[in-house]
Amino acid sequence: MLFNSFEFVLLVAVSFAVYYAGFLKHFQVHTLITASLFFYGYSNPGLLALFLASVVINVSTSYLVVYGKPERQKLFATIGVIINLSILAFFKYGVLVGSLFFNSNSSAGSFLLNIPLPIGISFFTFEGISLLIDAFKDRKRAEFQNLVPRSFKTHILNTTFFVAFFPHLIAGPILKAHDFIPQIGTKYLKQINWESCYKNLVMGYFLKMVIADQISQHTFWIQYPYFEGHSSTVLIAMLFGYSMQIFADFAGYSLIAIGVAGLFGYRLMENFNFPYISTSFSEFWRRWHISLSTFLKEYLYIPLGGNHKGKARTYLNLIITMVLGGLWHGAASSYAIWGAFHGIALASERLLTSSSKKQQEKPNLVREIAGGFIVFSFVSLAWLLFKLTDITHVFKYFQAIVNNTKKETSSKIIVFILIYSVPVILYHAIYLGKKYAFINTALRVLAPVAYAIMLFMIITNSGIGGDFIYFQF
């Protein structure tokens, strides 16, 4: 069920009415669990079996982690994490195993190559792992024991709700148990921050339906073999356009998720913080897909040793974390290469800035502009590995950029991409301008007009609706 569909709007409206009905206030969690399971199984009810199996595994193992025999608690946590990762690996990487080790005509090869990818599996699997690790790490701390209450019935409800809550279920933000479960409780209509919900929803739908869906009609030509017929200028413009599209698409989804969750009284973490103003790769990963980057840092990079085991180990940990983060997106080699590129960039940047002299240098506008250009260019080039998952097509695309300088340039594609990229550029520019008092004054006056214009554009100028890019992960 797409966020930009009538069915979704109806689901939210009906759930909202039942949720805040006074005589049903003690069943708010039950209401949202029911709505979430309907949401997840709407297009493919068969997926519910896997989802519920994942919930059962995480409910039972996390309970045993806290209330099982002390000498076996670590074992239960380990078993739970292994099962979660095994389920994720089977469905996401079974196709890769089948293509590498089995003949496609064999029964095993045919089975592995035709394994369906359950939507959102990467997200709800990570959240199950978060519950297990948080429960194990903090099981002896009184303030964290509420993550796994003594009542098994309450634990079932809390865990199911935590994993299933439909605004974040398909594409995040990735929730951490210690952030979300303490929020569970009775909510009241008067507590809703209507202004925040309105702004998040309007901005989210605008980014997705007006910007991303419109640009997608022209970045479509990035696909092989269509790109071979376009000039070098158009090929570069389409890379820029896809960078704008993937931001608008995913940031739009996250804002919608945050806005809908707010209607039900729950706070989801910010997932994007104006990433394209970043002047370093480390800053980019503090601003892009924040829920994933913080998850990888908290549950992978730090357990690997972080930056506490020497410089060489730090660089290796960065690269391993980013490669695994790339593979989290899918089994294609392009995702691993994408992760490796970012890991090497982070490690190289850390190496170059490790001297105390470099760290003490005062901010320099020219250096920041140059850094921003390098980071954005690198990130935009790397997004091609998301669009073209066949690595040979990626090489052919770059060859076409070099070889197609004399082909006729389609100005229509370039102009269209530039027009629909302007709002994304302004979105980031306005954020930069907030340090000036007159900009803040102007924003207070013009913000209501801007949101009204965006709402009007959503109604009158939306592109051809399609899946969110991150649904495939």
Q: Are residues 388 and 457 in the same domain?
A: yes
- Whether 329 sits among the annotated catalytic residues: the reply is yes
Q: Are residues 169 and 199 in the same domain?
A: no
* pLDDT value for 356: 46
Reported residue count of the chain is 473
> Which residues, given as ranges, of the chain have pLDDT below 50?
356
- Domain hosting 464: range is 194-280+369-472
Q: How many domains does the chain have?
A: 2
For residues 93 and 171, give the distance between their C-alpha atoms in angstroms, rounded to a whole number.
19
Cα three-residue angle 273-278-283, rounded to 5 degrees: 80
* pLDDT value for 414: 94
Q: Do the Cβ atoms of 156 and 184 come closer than 8 Å?
A: no
Q: Are residues 183 and 218 in the same domain?
A: no
Q: Is 173 a member of any domain?
A: yes
Q: Do the Cβ atoms of 139 and 66 come closer than 8 Å?
A: yes
Pull the structure tokens for residue 442: 């102007």
Q: Are residues 213 and 235 in the same domain?
A: yes
Q: Are residues 173 and 218 in the same domain?
A: no
Q: In the listed set 191, 219, 246, which residue is the last one of a domain according to the structure?
A: 191
Q: Are residues 149 and 200 in the same domain?
A: no
Q: Are residues 168 and 150 in the same domain?
A: yes
Q: Quick one: the chain helix, strand, coil %, rounded to 5?
A: 75, 0, 25
Q: Is 364 a member of any domain?
A: no
* pLDDT value for 420: 95
Q: Is 60 a member of any domain?
A: yes
User: Maximum distance among all alpha carbons in the chain?
Assistant: 72
Cβ count near 331 (within 10 Å):
20
Q: Do the Cβ atoms of 338 and 386 come closer than 8 Å?
A: yes
Active-site residue, from 168, 218, 329, 342: 329
For residues 376 and 239, give the distance between their C-alpha atoms in angstroms, rounded to a whole number.
11
Q: Are residues 184 and 209 in the same domain?
A: no
Q: Do the Cβ atoms of 171 and 123 come closer than 8 Å?
A: yes
**In degrees rounded to 5, what are phi and psi of residue 192?**
-70, 135
For residues 108 and 101, give the distance between their C-alpha atoms in angstroms, rounded to a whole number.
10
Q: In the listed set 174, 191, 208, which residue is the last one of a domain according to the structure?
A: 191
Q: Do the Cβ atoms of 124 and 163 come closer than 8 Å?
A: yes
Q: What's the pLDDT tens digit per position in 298-337?
A: 989 988 888 888 888 899 999 999 999 998 887 778 999 9
Cα three-residue angle 192-197-200, rounded to 5 degrees: 160
Q: What's the pLDDT tens digit per position in 64-94?
A: 998 889 889 999 999 999 999 998 888 877 6
Q: Are residues 127 and 11 in the same domain?
A: yes
For residues 453 and 462, give the distance between their C-alpha atoms in angstroms, rounded to a whole number.
13
* pLDDT value for 465: 72
Q: What's the pLDDT tens digit per position in 278-288?
A: 999 999 999 99
Q: Is 330 a member of any domain?
A: no
Q: Are residues 260 and 395 in the same domain?
A: yes
Report the predicted TM-score, pTM, of the whole model to 2 decimal places: 0.90
Q: Are residues 139 and 239 in the same domain?
A: no
